[in-house]
Amino acid sequence: MPEVRYNPITQSASTIFVDREDPKRTFEKAAVSIPREGCLLRTWYGVGGQGKTALARELFRISSDEVEPSYAHLRRAMVDLHERSLTDPDRLLVWIRNAFSRAGVTFPAFDLAFAIMWEKTRGEEALPNFENAWLFRTGEALSESLPDAVTFTRELMETTAETIPVLGFLLKKGSQWALDRGKQVWLEKTRPQLQAFYRDGLLIEDHEMSDLMPWMLAQDLNQHLAQAPRDRFVLFIDEYERVMDGAGTGARWRENRFDAHMRRFISETDGLLAIFFSRERLPWEEAPDWRDDLKDNQHLLGGLSDGDAEDWLRQVPVEDVAIREAMLAGARETDELASPVYPLMLDLQVEHWKNLGDRARPEDFSVSESGFEARRFALVQRLLRDYDAPIQELISRLALVQRFDRSAFEHVVTAFNVPVSFAAIDRLAELSIMSLGEDGWLSPHRAIADAIVQSEKQAIVSASRDALLAHFEDRAQPERPADVADDTLACLAEAAHLRRVKGMEGYVEWLDEIEDTVSEAHNPEFLEDLWREALAISQQGLGEAHQDTGTSYNNVASCLDAQGRHEEAEPLYRKGLEIRRAALGEAHPDTGSSYNNVASCLDAQGRHEEAEPLYRKGLEIRRAALGEAHPDTGSGYNNVAACLDFQGRHEEAEPLYLKGLEICRAALGGAHPDTGMSYNNVAFCLDAQGRHEEAEPLYRKGLEILRAALGEAHPDTGSSYNNVAFCLNNQGRHEEAEPLYRKGLEIRRAALGEAHPDTGASYNNVAFCLDDQGRHEEAEPLFRKGLEIRRAALGEAHPDTGASYNNVAFCLDDQGRHEEAEPLFRKGLEIRRAALGEAHPDTGASYRNLAVCVGRQGRREEALKILHMASGGDE
């Protein structure tokens, strides 16, 4: 018998494709019958484990012109709803748009209409990703990939706003929108459709825009047909039951906005074949508008025909005819000969056959039970009996998890006194129902594991789940952030999975507590996924107004904030604050935390004056609710101080920083990372007042604490290296400062990525140190790198971007390139005046730098005038 005994594609019922001739013929007949006007609908439905996803993928594959040239006229799109959040119907349209974009369809009307809707109704949120986009928000998407772009507000809007009024709206908003210069003809194609956005010369109401978007998406597809009349569209939608979950029947499904967007899109699109794969029939058949389209076109995918199942067994390959016949008989849903073969049960038969090897006989695969549940239970028990009793028990208990490693295996052995040695994990790794990952973790065959769990006694399932949950919880919370590793994240993911299975009551509170150490170790991308999932579940199960939903909004925002995605975070923080105020009241400490978080996000965007009253409100609530000695109150003092510091009000900030440090030391101890950050903050305030010698030992103390608590690779440790270097540089000790600056840059690049604004700050600081040593040519490219990162990450109007313009100019000026430097000095001054105000010391520094540059060019009177302005004189 061959060494490779089965096709790896056919490992589980969720991924196998058996050559189902009836569905293929149904699809082929529909694909050649798509009308020029109107659409066709087809659905395949059935319980899980029947291979619907595999069928969807196979039909998508065979409809490619590379497989079948006669399908060259099809523009195909696949939208898989598995693990997607289905709370935002507008994003459904983006998924459909992107899928058809990969098939070569362009979406001029939809892209511009969507941008207008987003700017008008959700302008503070990041625009969803558009594949092959022509339209960009320049602060988010312009990069080297779009070198030749037209920015609407500068070059294009004024000349087109009269004929395309919506552009006038964008112009008035002051948003920075751009498109590829070569696609200006794109605007012409949008005019007729975009008229629908206007009524009596005014934009339609905000709430009407979203409802119009499915129609707008359809218009671009219809426009494609007008230009390529032989083309047709095919849209595959998998796991559509997730949209209908909870919608019910009757009037309720018509109220499902996600589903309503899909119905509107399909009804407006010509030349479309829409194919749904779902556990249930589409309830659209209840509506007169859809009844005729769906009549006789909803197909039950109930099982495999004998011919299809036999063909699959040959591919495994099971070569013995008698064994194949016995396997098919035992895999039927019932004991009746006409009953179809259930894919999962056939999967169990094949696993049993692989375990028996050359010992397999036809009688090994017979099943005497009559009903489906009993037959499945018999097959599961038979598969388990292929192993000795201890291994059976281990498989049954470990089937609950998605993945496990040696430590989890040993815990189960110990907790339940399973009579095997720890070396038995090697036996598990060799089983056909287990997959070994590159990281050494084992994954149970999912479909079979689910069947095992469903067949096990509830008491055993509950005990196993509790023991595994406790084990993964413990490992997900190491004592120090420095001890967080990849295995820690894997354990947190497993713990979250097991905790969700227990029920959603208390889940958000549980996750909020257990993720603390992982969060302190800076893993925002990983945590973002967990919190987005928690948010979706809370919205669906508890409602938008529930406090757990508010906490989830806040924590998704925190993850975005930690990645430098402040503009995306802000509306989520505000939503969390709104919910907490309503659900918990103004005086609750969680409400205080939300005020603080909104303020912190504004602060990171350079909007310090907006942030200050919110910081003070958060501190006031925390003091009243938690007391003066609580560490959160200490953080509140620290945050108000930092905001004052950013505004140049260092003397006001200093006593608040000292108060925050005092509270942190008393409440958390001298070794806590928050205490380390407090030392750092006091030092920063002293440094800004020119008291560098006082600041240095505090900076070094903060670095010492953070290295011990968080580890050498943590971005906060990188910040501390940077700050010690900053203090040394301010004392003229440039050669001592340089290696520390470079160390901080190295850590930030590794921990935060090249595009993070803190990485941009580190490039700037290394450059500054080189510049102070007279190494201007070495400094210039680093200054420019810092400017590039800050413009992309923070936007053109941020004061840090203004500082970077100033620094590039300063470096050019030192090289005698005064004419090149002057416009950059002016740009930096313009940004600082707008962002920080005329009285801020950084604005004053920009005036002085510009005056020096102008003076060096011999324009003495102009330089004196600029200096006069810097001192508060009239222009």
DSSP-based three-state secondary structure for 332: strand
pLDDT at 37: 94
pLDDT at 157: 46
pLDDT at 13: 38
Across residues 219-229, what is the average pLDDT?
Answer: 93
Locate 726 and state its tokens. 């900053």
- Of the pLDDT bands very low, low, confident and very high (cuts 50, 70, 90), residue 454 is confident
Locate 49 and state its tokens. 């484990």
pLDDT at 471: 97
Across residues 405-425, what is the average pLDDT?
Answer: 95
Please check whether residue 621 is in contact with residue 592, taking contact to mean a CB–CB distance below 8 angstroms: yes
Percent of the chain with pLDDT over 70: 87
pLDDT at 14: 38
pLDDT greater at residue 120 or residue 249: 120
pLDDT greater at residue 754 or residue 28: 28
Tens-digit pLDDT profile for residues 780-837: 999 999 998 888 878 888 888 999 999 999 899 889 999 999 999 999 999 998 888 8
- Of the pLDDT bands very low, low, confident and very high (cuts 50, 70, 90), residue 532 is confident
Please check whether residue 824 is in contact with residue 809, taking contact to mean a CB–CB distance below 8 angstroms: yes
Query: With 50 as the cut, is the pLDDT of residue 485 above it?
Result: yes
Query: With 80 as the cut, is the pLDDT of residue 650 above it?
Result: yes
CA atoms lying within 13 Å on the CB side of residue 699? 25
Average pLDDT, the chain: 84
pLDDT greater at residue 29 or residue 171: 29
Query: With 70 as the cut, is the pLDDT of residue 702 above it?
Result: yes
Which element (helix H / strand E) includes 61?
A: helix 52-62
- Rounded to 5°, the CA angle 48-312-344 comes to 25
Question: Among residues 133, 184, 117, 190, which one has the least CA distance to residue 155?
Answer: 184
Please check whether residue 277 is in contact with residue 53, taking contact to mean a CB–CB distance below 8 angstroms: yes
Tens-digit pLDDT profile for residues 855-874: 999 888 888 888 887 755 43
Tens-digit pLDDT profile for residues 169-203: 554 444 455 555 445 555 556 667 777 777 766 67
The answer for residues whose C-beta is within 8 angstroms of residue 672's C-beta and 6 or more apart is 664, 705, 709
Gap between the Cα atoms of 90 and 242, Å rounded? 16
Across residues 725-739, what is the average pLDDT?
Answer: 91
- Of the pLDDT bands very low, low, confident and very high (cuts 50, 70, 90), residue 81 is confident
Say which range, 116-130, 455-469, 754-768, has the weakest mean pLDDT.
116-130
pLDDT at 873: 43
pLDDT at 749: 86
- Of the pLDDT bands very low, low, confident and very high (cuts 50, 70, 90), residue 272 is very high
Tens-digit pLDDT profile for residues 493-522: 999 999 998 887 899 999 999 999 999 888
Tens-digit pLDDT profile for residues 549-567: 999 999 999 998 888 888 8
pLDDT at 596: 92
Query: With 60 as the cut, is the pLDDT of residue 160 above it?
Result: no
Residue in this structure with the two tokens 């958000």, named with its chain if needed: 508
Across residues 769-781, what is the average pLDDT?
Answer: 91
Helix axes 458-475, 486-502, angle to 10 degrees: 150
pLDDT at 247: 43
Bridge-based pairing state of the strands 202-203 and 272-278: unpaired
Percent of the chain with pLDDT over 90: 43
Tens-digit pLDDT profile for residues 567-586: 888 999 999 999 999 999 99
- Of the pLDDT bands very low, low, confident and very high (cuts 50, 70, 90), residue 1 is very low
The answer for residues whose C-beta is within 8 angstroms of residue 531's C-beta and 6 or more apart is 511, 552, 555, 556, 559
Question: Among residues 640, 641, 612, 635, which one has the least CA distance to residue 622?
Answer: 635
pLDDT at 141: 40
pLDDT at 633: 92
Bridge-based pairing state of the strands 198-199 and 135-137: unpaired
- Domain limits, the chain: 21-86+230-300, 106-227, 304-386, 796-875
Across residues 136-156, what is the average pLDDT?
Answer: 46
pLDDT at 536: 80
Please check whether residue 789 is in contact with residue 827, taking contact to mean a CB–CB distance below 8 angstroms: no
Residue 204: what are its φ and ψ, rounded to 5°? Answer: -65, 170
Query: With 90 as the cut, is the pLDDT of residue 39 above it?
Result: yes
Answer CATH for 796-875 from 3.40.710.10, 3.60.150.10, 1.25.40.10, 1.10.3210.10 = 1.25.40.10
pLDDT at 3: 26
pLDDT at 49: 54
Bridge-based pairing state of the strands 177-180 and 149-151: antiparallel
pLDDT at 553: 93
Query: With 60 as the cut, is the pLDDT of residue 477 above it?
Result: yes
Across residues 113-124, what is the average pLDDT?
Answer: 75
Residue in this structure with the two tokens 């018998």, named with its chain if needed: 1
pTM, full prediction:
0.60
Question: Among residues 823, 829, 853, which one has the least CA distance to residue 843?
Answer: 829
Please check whether residue 608 is in contact with residue 643, taking contact to mean a CB–CB distance below 8 angstroms: yes
Gap between the Cα atoms of 645 and 654, Å rounded? 8
Query: With 70 as the cut, is the pLDDT of residue 156 above it?
Result: no
Locate 559 and state its tokens. 């993850």
Across residues 531-545, what is the average pLDDT?
Answer: 85
pLDDT at 187: 56
- Of the pLDDT bands very low, low, confident and very high (cuts 50, 70, 90), residue 328 is very high
Across residues 89-110, what is the average pLDDT?
Answer: 90
Would you say domain 21-86+230-300 falls under CATH 3.40.50.1010?
no
